[in-house]
């Protein structure tokens, strides 16, 4: 009987510690705030997507077949090359800055046509 009492106390203690550790890692407001702050930072990245005509020039759209697509407006000296790449899938490397979770800009430094 005494062993069962120790076991149940031990299990309750372990479950309490685990639940408090899991709850400590959940910070939804802070994660949302950091997502918006990250939108103001630029970083080097390669993206693969479909070249389309956008409102302000050409865009590279990643995940173009689903609702979670992200469109990056192409800027920089290589932006004129995207006119002949319209409708094709490319991998572009450059400086990416997110303006929202679904859009951003890319200052393209190199572009490669995917086959």
Indicate yes or no: pTM above 0.85: no
Surface-to-core class of residue 15, CB atoms within 10 Å of its CB (0-12 exposed, 13-18 middle, 19+ buried)? exposed
Residue 39: per-residue pLDDT = 46
Higher pLDDT, 23 or 99: 99
Tell me the pLDDT band of 42, cut-offs 50, 70 and 90. confident
Residue 41: per-residue pLDDT = 80
CB atoms < 10 A from the CB of 79, how many?
A: 16
Instruction: Identify the weakest region by mean pLDDT among 22-26, 42-46, 50-54, 98-102.
Output: 22-26
pLDDT in tens, 62-86: 999 998 899 999 999 998 899 999 9
Longest Cα–Cα distance of the chain, Å, equals 80
Instruction: Identify the weakest region by mean pLDDT among 7-11, 16-20, 46-50.
Output: 16-20
Tell me, rounded to whole angstroms, the distance of Cα 32 from its chain centroid: 13
CB atoms < 10 A from the CB of 47, how many?
A: 18
What DSSP state is assigned to residue 88?
S
Distances in whole angstroms, Cα of residue 103 to Cα of each of 22, 53, 67: 32, 14, 13
Tell me the pLDDT band of 21, cut-offs 50, 70 and 90. low
């Amino acid at each position: 009987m005494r062993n069962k009492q120790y076991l149940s106390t031990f299990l309750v203690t372990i479950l309490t510690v685990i639940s408090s550790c899991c709850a400590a890692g959940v910070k939804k407001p802070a994660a949302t705030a950091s997502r918006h702050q990250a939108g103001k930072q630029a970083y080097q990245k390669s993206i693969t997507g479909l070249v389309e005509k956008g409102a302000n020039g050409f865009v590279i759209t990643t995940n173009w077949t689903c609702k979670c697509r992200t469109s990056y407006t192409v800027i920089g000296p290589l932006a004129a090359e995207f006119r002949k790449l319209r409708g094709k899938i490319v991998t572009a490397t450059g400086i990416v800055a997110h303006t929202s979770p679904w859009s951003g800009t890319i200052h393209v430094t190199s572009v490669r046509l995917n086959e």
